[in-house]
Amino acid sequence: MDNQVTEKVHCLIIGSGPAGYTAAIYAARANLKPVLYQGIQPGGQLTITTDVENYPGYPDGIQGPEMMVHFEKQAVRMGADIRYGLATRAELKGPKHQIEIDEEKWIEADCVIIATGASAKWLGLESEQRLNGHGVSACAVCDGFFFKNKEVAIIGAGDTACEEALYLSKLCTKVHMIVRKDEHGMRASKVMQDRVKNTANIQIYWNSITKEVLGENTVEGVKIMDTQTNVEKIIPISAFFVAIGHTPNSEIFKGWLNMDDAGYILTTPGTSKTNIEGVFAAGDVQDKTYRQAVTAAGSGCMAALDAERYLSEKFPE
């Protein structure tokens, strides 16, 4: 931390999705004077989502980016200090914790709420990115409803891909499931594989890779190739779901916080507490099961309440 400015704050929140902003709202109302850094993607994953119809309180639905503007405005109105900036390093030695911002400034905080989220893994196709939010999605539970009674495709071979394929099969007329390996190479548990195979309107394409998502402004089809025969095939669809996993944005906390093999921060069940006193985690960075805006917001509330209790005990006025 040599030659770098250090600013002292009471409560530091890192990340600006539903978890971060909700934590800021609660922390500000509790007079914790929270400072929130928005990170590389202000608003989080919801800023790349179009229609959100499953968040309570929006009977007509709302656009993801607009919803995040509402969250931010509410946090600001409550007194949260919202700033642009990316957390680039962490030293969580306690009882004061240090976080570096933009590789140029250190913040020293009495408590830290980590709400850095997770990033969906993508195939890396130009067409996939171009049509993201226009029929391409990384969340079937979020967006499947918009393609009711239509044909869709999903790519993936793990339990999540199977769960999402089964979810889609209840809404859509047909689900085309694209699996890179053969039956023996599928990562999903046996029970999930059997459920998918026994669902009449799910068709599995083994040994297949996605070459391109087709369509100008919306998804119209997908071109796949059988890797055994090199034969290409075009499947007409209305949506393309990518279910090849997420990467939690927890890299800078490695070596400090306990994590699972995938990098999700481990919290004490029923709380937002990490293994380090005064450090809390909320939202998708610690949740690989639900990954919904409403559950992220709920865990942001938990983190702020946990932080408030911790600070009142540790730093009584």
* Residue 142 annotated among the catalytic residues of the structure: yes
Q: In what order do the strands lie in the sheet with 232-236?
A: 208-214, 221-226, 232-236
Residue-by-residue pLDDT tens, the chain, 317 positions: 555 668 999 999 999 999 999 999 999 999 999 999 998 787 787 877 667 888 999 999 998 899 999 999 999 999 999 999 999 999 999 889 999 999 999 999 999 999 999 998 999 999 999 999 899 999 998 899 999 999 999 999 998 899 999 999 999 999 999 999 998 888 888 999 999 999 999 999 999 999 999 999 999 999 999 999 999 999 999 999 999 989 999 999 999 999 999 999 999 999 999 999 999 999 999 999 888 999 999 999 999 999 999 999 998 86
Contact 291, 246 (CB under 8 A): yes
Examine the domain organization and report whether 253 and 202 are in the same domain: no
pTM of the complete model: 0.86
What single letter denotes the amino acid at residue 298? G
Residue 41: which residues within 8 A CB-CB, separation 6 or more?
16, 47, 117
Residues forming a β-bridge with 208: 226
Paired sense of beta strands 97-101 and 87-91, if any: antiparallel
Answer yes or no: do 206 and 278 share one domain: no
Pairing of β 97-101 and β 105-114:
antiparallel
Closest by CA to 168, choosing from 140, 203, 188, 196, is 140
* pLDDT at 200 (0 to 100): 97
Number of domains in the chain: 2
The pLDDT value recorded for residue 207 is 96
CB contact burial 245-272 (16+ within 10 A = b; e otherwise): bbebbbebbeebbebeeebbbebeeeeb
172 is catalytic: no
Among residues 11, 111, 142, 301, the one annotated as catalytic is 142
Question: Looking at the structure, do residues 115 and 127 belong to the same domain, yes or no?
Answer: no
Catalytic residue (choose from 143, 284, 287, 306): 143
Q: What CATH number has the domain bearing residue 221? A: 3.50.50.60
Q: Are residues 214 and 262 in the same domain?
A: no
User: Does residue 139 carry a catalytic annotation?
Assistant: yes
Domain range spanning residue 108?
A: 5-119+246-314
Q: Which of residues 189, 211, 242 is at a domain's end?
A: 242
Contact 291, 118 (CB under 8 A): yes
- For residue 108, CA distances in Å to 12, 204, 272 come to 8, 52, 20
Which of 51, 81, 139, 159 is labelled catalytic?
139
Contact 32, 132 (CB under 8 A): no
For residues 127 and 112, state if they share a domain: no
